Amino acid sequence: MSRSEVASAQASSRVTADVLAAGAVCWRHGPKGLEVVLIHRPKYNDWSWPKGKVDPGETLPEAAIREVKEETGFDIHLGIPLPSAEYTVRKNTLKKVFYWSAEVKDEADFAPVNKREVDTAGWFPVDKARSKLTSFADREQLDALEKFAETDALRSWPLILVRHGKAFPRAKWYETEHVRPLLKLGTRQAMALTGLLGAWGVRKLASSPWKRCMATLTPLSAATGKSIKKVSTLSEKATAANPDKTVRYIEKLLAKGKPIIYCTHRPVLPTI
């Protein structure tokens, strides 16, 4: 299964479940190859992936990171998406769990928050993990992870495009366009994006220098302590005047292969 197929499968089933949950398959390269983390839940006496239900107002990526932290003690950033799981719980209640890969680079001790929910966890080689998983269905995420590893596609880097938050209506703005601000709704949207955008651990921020774009990334900049690089090429005016230059800028970002979040305008999106 390719990355695009996995992402498409996640997107197509995003809103059809009664219960949404999220988790991650934590991995590392051990002495004998690829290893993954399994948790043991005493209530069910099973071995599975760290996961849990989405809290109100929480996005799926944020839930995945929180659940991994609560059930393993690991601070993670998300990697590539993995196949989701779907099953029925209780009386005809459909539950879907969305998974991502997550490389664990730092040595850390397992420290579940609630030992009654997760009493132990461990690193296991892929073959051992496959036989230890209680649910046969959980092997689908492991199989996908292993295939990505075999093609050297497991380590990835995100290039995240953000369109600025809700801005003051263009038709009602009589000053210069580059200072048109966010509405209060747009400011709230920018604040709400902080946790979601932070899920991938990106520490390089770039933006159109226009006020509404800079303001959209300002909360994330404050949370991470990283400054926002102003890129005039990403503005509406610059792209309209020289779209090829904007395309070359994006191609350069792709060629560098470094994680970055950049913010621009809706009229620029077709160009990039």
Considering the domain architecture, whether residues 105 and 223 belong to the same structural domain is answered as no
pLDDT bracket for residue 6 (50, 70, 90)? very low
| Count of the separate structural domains present in the chain | 2
Q: Supply the DSSP symbol for 54.
A: P
72: number of CA atoms within 13 Å, CB side?
Answer: 30
Answer yes or no: do 183 and 143 share one domain: no
The verdict on 64 and 185 lying in the same domain is: no
- Cα(220)–Cα(8) distance, integer angstroms: 27
In this predicted structure, what is the pLDDT of residue 10?
Answer: 52
pLDDT tens track for 177-231: 999 999 999 999 999 999 999 999 998 999 999 999 999 999 999 999 999 999 9
Shared domain check, 171 and 136: no
CB burial class (10 A; 0-12, 13-18, 19+) of residue 247?
middle
Whole-angstrom distance, CA of residue 46 vs CA of residue 150: 28
Residue 198 sits in the same domain as residue 93: no
Looking at residue 24, which CATH number applies to its domain?
3.90.79.10
pLDDT at residue number 12: 46
164 and 129 in a single domain? The answer is no
Average confidence (pLDDT) over 17-21? 90
d(CA 138, CA 132): 10
CB-based contact 211:179 (threshold 8 Å):
yes
Domain with 173 in it: 159-268
Determine the Cα–Cα distance for residues 234 and 231; give it in Å rounded to an integer: 6
Q: State pLDDT tens for residues 75-109.
A: 999 999 999 999 888 778 899 999 999 999 877 78
Q: Tell me the CATH number at 229.
A: 3.40.50.1240
In a shared domain, residues 10 and 145:
yes
User: pTM, whole model, 2 decimals?
Assistant: 0.88
**Cα–Cα nearest to 43, from 112, 94, 99:** 112
Are 257 and 127 part of one and the same domain? no
Indicate the pairing of strand 19-30 with strand 51-53. antiparallel
Same domain, 130 and 190: no
**Helix or strand holding residue 245 (H, E):** helix 243-256
User: How much is the pLDDT for 9?
Assistant: 45
